[in-house]
A = this chain, B = another copy of it.
Amino acid sequence: MTLTAAVVAVGDELLLGDTVNTNASWLGGQLARVGVQVVASTMVGDDLPRMQVALRRALQDAEVVIVTGGLGPTSDDVTREAIAAVAGVELVRDAELVQELTDRFAAYGYAMPAQVLQQADVPVGGTALHNPVGSAPGLRLEVGERVVYALPGPPHELQAVIAVVLDELGARSGSVLRTHTVHTSGLGEPTVAELVEQAVAVPAGVALAYLAGGGAVRVRFTGTDDDVLRRLADEAAAVLGDHVWGRDGDRLDEVVHRALAARQATVAVAESLTGGLIGAALSRLPGSSSTFRGSAVVYATDLKETLAGVPGPLLAAAGAVSAETAGALAAGARERLGATYGIGATGVAGPSEQEGQPVGTVFLAVSGPSGAVVRTLRLPGDRDRVRALAVTMALDLLRRHLAAEPVVP
């Protein structure tokens, strides 16, 4: 990495905890990708003296300083003043920006408070960065050997303004970082690491990282040569076999949707502990109506029979939380909702146990034209976490079942 950056996020709401600083983590990833290393990241309040201290420190720490927030139209918004003060220059009101602001308010039919015009102030020697989705332009100012970028705080505005900044920084750093990632499910992180490191020789200049969470373990190769990274990821995927569900930007629900679409197949769900979350995951994607039929959320025990078709005697004998009932839910979902495949899910989310089954006990089933599979899991965590993991595991079970069935062209 040939360029260093320091990020300063401005806003009282960040320090009070009203807002989580998602901008900093998003920026960290974006900057890494264009070869810029973030060496420090700070939050400071809407306080002019403290902001100047933060800016001065940032200019000591790094070649590039990125400030987010404090560019709004109220008296709390002092980023422009702070930057000008630290750079030792005046702010000048730009006539073109004044016109844009005036036109913007006129288009809305709102009266424009005079204070809004502070958004047209630019430090002498600086340039404004166009903001297509908000009224506050960003700013760029060289301060000695260093450069300061001031960008809007609201995340969707930050993301709209930053492209030109990332292009400029990528050109300066001369080394754009690439990543290739392999997403797996079904193996613990130590096992994944062991398999990968036995099979893949990681050359100098490539960083290997494992990220575990949400029922997935991701293997990430980072470096500058895209072809080398792709080859390494291919090697890792080969040794991890059918535990691999995706690469790079893939999401599990997208992978499942594509696998169903390739088979011109549909899926329906009969779910209990997950309350509708499996259906929600299968309908997240635009166009999911071509593969997702619906879900019977049979939270009450009797509905497992009346809505999802679980035979009464089986429900009475095996109980609502059992492998047999999960299998019957999957079959019932297929039949009652008219789908190629059915997913069944029943279990104990907690905090109390149920039918003598401990918290985290989950039975998942997939039923399809060529047969059925049932899995028994013990999932960790509290109620929210057990439910979320059950969704991931249910989608992965369907993925694996589909992978075992050939695509008939």
**Interface residue ranges, A against B (CB under 8 Å):** 14-22, 24-30, 32, 37-45, 50, 53-54, 57, 61, 209, 211, 269, 271, 274-280, 282-284, 286, 288-289, 292-300, 302-303, 306-307, 336-338, 350-352, 383-384, 387
Contacts and interface: CB of A to CB of B under 8 A. Distances in A.
23 contacts: A14-B28, A15-B40, A15-B41, A16-B28, A17-B26, A17-B27, A17-B29, A17-B30, A20-B25, A24-B43, A41-B43, A53-B61, A275-B279, A275-B280, A275-B282, A280-B280, A286-B383, A289-B299, A293-B300, A294-B307, A295-B297, A300-B337, A307-B337
A39 B50 contact: yes
Given A43-B40, A278-B276, A280-B280, A14 B25 contact: yes
Contacts of A277: 276-277, 280
A38 B17 CA distance: 10
Contacts of A38: 15-16
A274 B21 CA distance: 28
Contacts of A276: 271, 275-280, 283, 295, 297
Nearest to A47: B39
A70 to B, nearest CB: 15
A253 to B, nearest CB: 11
B282 A292 contact: no
A270 to B, nearest CB: 10
Contacts of A14: 24-25, 28, 41
B299 A297 contact: no
A296 to B, nearest CB: 6
A66 to B, nearest CB: 12
A17 B39 contact: no
Nearest to A276: B276
Copies of this chain, how many?
Answer: 2
A279 B268 CA distance: 16
Q: Which of A17, A279, A286, A302 has most chain B Cβ within 10 Å?
A: A17
Contacts of A16: 28-29, 32, 38
A193 B114 CA distance: 21
B303 A293 contact: yes
Contacts of A306: 338
A45 B338 CA distance: 53
Contacts of A57: 57
A350 B279 contact: no
Contact of A299 (B279, B351, B384): B279
B29 A40 contact: no
A352 B286 contact: yes
Given A14-B41, A40-B42, A44-B40, A279 B297 contact: yes
Contacts of A37: 15
Contacts of A211: 18
Contacts of A43: 24, 40-42
A202 B101 CA distance: 34
A15 B44 contact: no
A156 B375 CA distance: 29
Leading 3 A-B pairs by shortest Cβ distance: A276-B276, A276-B279, A17-B28
A74 B24 CA distance: 26
A286 B351 CA distance: 7
